[in-house]
Amino acid sequence: MRNTAVIFFPAFDWAISPSHPEREERLLYTRDQIFEEGIMDLPNVIEYKPRLATDTDIARVHFCVPDISSVTTEAHYVSAGCSLVIADAVMSKQVDNGFSIARPPGHHSMTVVHGNRGFCNINNEAIMVEYIRKKYDIRRIAVVDTDVHHGDGSQEIFYHDPDILFISFHQDGRTLYPGSGFIEELGGPAALGSTINIPLRPKTSDDGILYIIDNLVLPMLKEFGAEVVVNSAGQDNHFTDPLADMRFSATGYAELNHRLKPDIAVLEGGYSIETALPYVNMGLIMAMAGLDYSNLREPDYHPGMFKESPSAMDYIKKLVDAQWHNFSSRDELVKAAKTRFKPMYSVTERIFYDTDYISEDQKNQIKICDDCHGYRLIDSNGHYRTGRDGRIFGVCVPIYACERCQAEAEKHYQKMISQHAAYDHIYLQDRKADRYLSYNCRTGLEKTIL
């Protein structure tokens, strides 16, 4: 038996549209089921109350264009705040672990935010990770994303950080949004092998996913030595989910959680509102609390209903072998990449915001440093459906940057202010100093984000 914190936030006042799959009923059916079954009456399952995240919490992770209030609602502050409440409860040892059952979700939200993509505006897990590192001086954290959609936002935020192990298993991006998450996506030059993707064929079942947990994820977590393990708990791998084509069961999710033993779980996707989510969420809570979930029953499912074919298991085993090799070789990969790309690594990409129909052209430059994993410069131009553009420049200093990189990054910020004609806003995100600045190029005013 373990003491488990649970927090609910259905966000009654936030919806993309009244009939959209991402709506408040996702949590209401779960809440009814859990209270009916008496789970919340158990002495080791403790309900916590939501609170608001702050602008500083959000600015630690995001460059919101033009500002945070323009791309969020109060519901986003509360949803992110729920994960911080759970983090405080776990890190202060009030409980052994905790589950934030809140919406809106966040794992498709990237460093730069021009609007909503994949139902996400701000990234709850990333905000929580940086909060934990700043408040509790925790360095090495693992994020295991179990959503059926690749956690491309979380991947992008952590892509250049070797102290964050990001693992995502998901339905193959060639068959599902967002079309990313392939095994070649291993991290930036200073963090190669710290991003691990496992793209799965449609119709993968409990057997395949649990094989990956046992033979890849758990050995990686042990080798990495994570001080905190976070489950980005998407539940749309379920066989009834209307937005995907996988074959996971509620019992499978409970067993996954039992084996993974996350310190913190944060709800992401899952859109089978009546037939899956109440049972999956109950299974996760029971597993985290150390309760017997062997009698968990869900409609239209019986054990052995789905089996992996020999060819499917062979594919999974090859994936596991390939990604274990990449993870095990990360020191050699980083050494070679730093030599190759020094002093600056550059990459450009086009990002599409499917919900708000925004396209973004983005150029990244990452400093290659021998003493830390370098700072990051982001030139982003958002093209909105109204016909206008929003161009920003962001300077990101990681929390464990060396003093030389911190000083260089500050000079870049000041230099861009003096040459700001092409931009609308210029931002400084200095996680090392916990200082966040926004410069409005049209008014010439600089604001500290608090």
Q: How far is CA 351 from CA 45, 152, 192, 363, in A?
A: 41, 11, 22, 11
How far is it, in rounded angstroms, from Cα 239 to Cα 279? 13
Rounded Cα distance, 295 and 229, in Å? 27
Alpha-carbon span 29 to 34, nearest angstrom: 9
The answer to whether the beta carbons of residues 88 and 100 sit under 8 Å apart is no
Give catalytic residue positions: 108
pTM of the model as a whole? 0.96
Q: CB count, 10 Å around CB of 25?
A: 13
Q: What is the mean pLDDT of each run of 10 residues along the chain (450 residues)?
A: 96 86 88 90 96 98 97 97 98 98 97 97 98 97 98 98 98 97 97 98 97 98 98 96 96 97 97 90 96 90 91 97 98 96 96 96 97 97 91 97 98 93 94 98 94
3-state secondary structure of 249: coil
Q: State how far the Cα of 446 lies from the Cα of 450, in Å rounded to an integer.
A: 13
> 63: how many CB neighbours lie within 10 A of its CB?
27
Would you state the structure tokens that stand for residue 427, as one six-digit string?
């931002």
Other Cβ atoms within 10 Å of 315 Cβ, number: 16
Residue 421: what pLDDT?
78
Instruction: Give exposure, 328-349, as e/b (b: 16+ Cβ within 10 Å).
Output: eebeebbeebbeeeeeebeeee
